[in-house]
Chain A
């Protein structure tokens, strides 16, 4: 398993309200199953700004915290289109406009021979876009994140499972949210300072 916890965010670069002294409330669980159940209940209770952390990817967890779509596919599509169009345009410009060379009597604009490079650059740009787009949409690299202010959180990359309700959630209130999380029977609850 990787050293850093797997991070399933339900909204973009997830930094929360830095102006508030409290980032959110964190609950710790013993198993993946408990975390998924707790996430389901929390989302069903109306909390929207929540996040979950686990040492390994858990199927269904992203859906449990209300995370259904991300914009990486769109970034990949745009990247691929840019790659393909620029590859074709480059070849057309070279072969038909700037340095036209007669090859066996074929037309300067011989599209079949342009397809391979167009295809390859589409793949290349789409591939790079997916990696860069994923990092950008996750707000990475992120040198500081409030959740690490809770010492127990180090276990998120070992054997513990965490759920965080952000203070930016409209339904958030320190006492009410704490008693709600208590009802989910976590191992512990901690306030996360910003």
Chain B
């Protein structure tokens, strides 16, 4: 870009989402409702598959909401044009948390279907490992899960609510300080990493109640951040061809999003490998069952598929500068990685309930059902405000001419 070419003249109404966002919202809602109805039927037709499939869908879409929140906080702390252009996308994504709050209730009401520590029969059995009884008595029980579930969502939604509300306030009042965003985000990132760690211990790690891994929360943090960046690339490729995003989104920002994708692909692999190496090296009976479950009964192929297509191939492709700089090429890899995120969560959750490779139609309807509702909510949020925070100092910098 060599000249301003009238970029700074964009007004609030110019920056509203294009009509395609409304179309997407309506279609998402249709897909969501059909998917949800099919999934409810699935709960009665295939109850043996439903609950673990539901947890997979819940964890994936929750991860996207929280990933958006974490990336937004990162942006408020470090700044940069890469974040200004996706800030409203991130804010709209994290403001879907109320939906995820409601969608946890089916899990809460069916804990024994998923978690061995919640099964009265197992707890009454004198042969049960006393350690399980101790855990179930002190921490992993209905009241504990209920209290912590409410606490997590109050904290997450509280942080998201204020970041989002202040952002809306920026649209109406110019010249506000950005200090409160930074203060909230610096505390928020710490709080998020702690709460998500506890949450995945409660909801995912406890599927095998005796098994413990101290890096487990980080696996999800890395995955959620990756999901969020891939999601932003997908959205910017849908909306980016049209005004207003086509007016300010340049290859440089897309390139940055590609670099972040590469970073989080590597971080994901790094954390997963760390867990694997330590357990492999220790070779202890209480640590290895998690991998024994996931390296037998056909799950080993899923694991191998993850190594190759969640890490190796995306890593090699993302080294390419040409691929990263264009939204229309990067979007293919971003979509693929979103798919691999779901496979990863499937590989985490499903082997705990099914020793042999297991998938059913209800897995697809749940991903589509929750996803459709999530996307409709997202587009609803996105359409309610300009696609850039119009008075934010970062926006003014973005719309300035490049050379002074």
Partners in one complex: yes
- Inter-chain contact A33/B319, CB cutoff 8 Å: no
Q: How far is the CA of A40 from the CA of B2 in the complex (A)?
A: 9
- Interface size on A (CB < 8 Å)? 17
Task: List A contacts of B273 (CB < 8 A).
Answer: 115
The answer to whether residues A112 and B276 also contact, given A60-B1, A60-B2, A77-B319 and a CB cut-off of 8 A, is yes
Taking the closest CB of chain B, its distance from the CB of A177, in whole angstroms, is 23
Would you call B402 an interface residue if the criterion is a C-beta within 8 Å of the partner chain's C-beta atoms?
Answer: yes
Chain B residues in 8 Å Cβ range of A116: 277
Looking at the assembled complex, report how far the CB atom of B253 sits from the nearest CB atom of chain A, in whole angstroms.
12
Residue of B nearest to A37 (CB): B2
Complex Cα spacing A116 to B2, Å: 45
Nearest CB in chain A: distance from B279 CB, A: 10
Give the distance to chain A from B171, nearest Cβ to Cβ, in Å. 28
Task: Check: B211 CB closer than 8 A to any chain A CB.
Answer: no
- The answer to whether the Cβ of A3 comes within 8 Å of any Cβ in the partner chain is no
CB–CB A33/B403 < 8 A: yes
Answer whether A31 and B283 are a contact pair too, CB < 8 Å, given A40-B2, A73-B321, A115-B277.
Answer: no
Let me know if B404 is at the binding interface, CB within 8 A. Answer: yes
- Is A104 interfacial (CB 8 A cutoff)? yes
Q: Say yes or no for A36: interface residue by CB 8 A criterion.
A: yes
Task: Tally the A-B contacts, defined by beta carbons under 8 Å.
Answer: 35
Cβ 8 A contact of A58, one of B252, B276, B401, B403: B403
State in angstroms the CA–CA spacing of A116 and B270 once bound together: 10
**What residues of A have a CB within 8 angstroms of the CB of B404 in the complex?**
31-33
For residue B139, CB closer than 8 A to chain A, the reply is no
Kindly list chain B residues whose C-beta atoms are within 8 Å of the C-beta of A112. 276-277, 280-281
Closest partner residue, chain B, to A105 (CB atom)? B283
A73 and B404 alpha carbons, distance in the complex (Å): 30
Q: How far is the CA of A36 from the CA of B404 in the complex (A)?
A: 11
- Given A40-B2, A77-B319, A59:B402 Cβ within 8 A: yes
Which chain A positions have C-beta within 8 A of B252? 59
Closest to B276 in A: A112
B403 engages A31 (CB within 8 Å):
yes
Interface residues on B, range: 10 to 19
Scan residues 346-393 of chain B and give those whose CB is less than 8 A from a CB of chain A. Answer: none
- For residues 317 through 362 of chain B, which have their beta carbon under 8 Å from a beta carbon of chain A? 319, 321
**How close is A127's CB to chain B, nearest CB, in angstroms?**
15
Residues of B contacting A2 with CB < 8 Å? none
Chain B residues with CB under 8 Å of A104's CB are: 283
Question: For A32, A58, A112, A113, which residue has the most chain B Cβ atoms within 10 angstroms?
Answer: A112
Output the nearest chain B residue to A69 by Cβ-Cβ distance: B321
Least distance between A89 CB and chain B CB atoms (Å): 20
Contact partners of A73 in chain B: CB under 8 A = 319, 321
Q: List A contacts of B321 (CB < 8 A).
A: 73
A32-B404 Cα distance, complex, nearest whole Å: 7
Chain A residues numbered 97-139 whose CB sits less than 8 Å from any CB in chain B: 104, 112-113, 115-116
Cβ of B402: which chain A residues have Cβ within 8 Å of it? 59-60
> In the complex, A77→B321 CA distance in Å?
13
Residues of chain A with a CB closer than 8 A to B277's CB: 112-113, 115-116
Give 1 or 0 for each of A177-194: 1 = CB within 8 Å of chain B CB.
000000000000000000
Residues of B within 8 A of A31 (CB): 403-404
How far in angstroms is the closest Cβ of chain B from A184?
A: 14
Residue of A nearest to B252 (CB): A59
Cα(A64)–Cα(B2), bound, Å: 9
B319 CB contacts on chain A under 8 angstroms: 73, 77
Q: Give the contacts of A59-95 with B (CB-CB under 8 A).
A: 59-60, 64, 73, 77
Q: Are B2 and A113 in contact (CB under 8 A)?
A: no
Q: How many angstroms from the CA of A121 to the CA of B17 in the assembled complex?
A: 47
Please name all residues of chain B whose beta carbon is closer than 8 Å to the beta carbon of A37 when the two chains form the complex. Answer: 2
> What is the minimal beta-carbon distance from A160 to any residue of chain B, in angstroms?
15
Interface 0/1 of A27-46, CB less than 8 Å to B: 00001110011001000000
In the bound assembly, the distance between CA atoms of A83 and B2 in angstroms comes to 41
Q: Please name the residue on chain B nearest to A32 by beta carbon.
A: B403
Bound: A33/B1 CA distance, A: 11
Contact yes or no, B403 A113, CB < 8 A: no
CB 8 Å contact bits of A3-36 with B (1 = contact, 0 = none): 0000000000000000000000000000111001
CA–CA, A115 and B276, complex, Å? 12
- B403–A36 contact, CB under 8 A? yes
Instruction: State the CA gap A104–B281 with chains docked (Å).
Output: 9
CB distance from A159 to the nearest CB of B (A): 13
Chain B residues positioned under 8 Å from A77 (CB to CB)? 319
Chain B residue at minimum C-beta to C-beta distance from A104: B283
New A-B pairs, 11, CB < 8 Å, besides A73-B319, A112-B277: A32-B403, A59-B252, A59-B402, A64-B2, A73-B321, A112-B276, A112-B280, A113-B277, A113-B281, A115-B273, A116-B277
Q: Can you offer 7 A-B residue contacts whose CB atoms are under 8 A?
A: A31-B404, A32-B403, A33-B401, A33-B404, A36-B2, A59-B252, A113-B281
Q: Which residues of A contact B (CB under 8 A)?
A: 31-33, 36-37, 40, 58-60, 64, 73, 77, 104, 112-113, 115-116
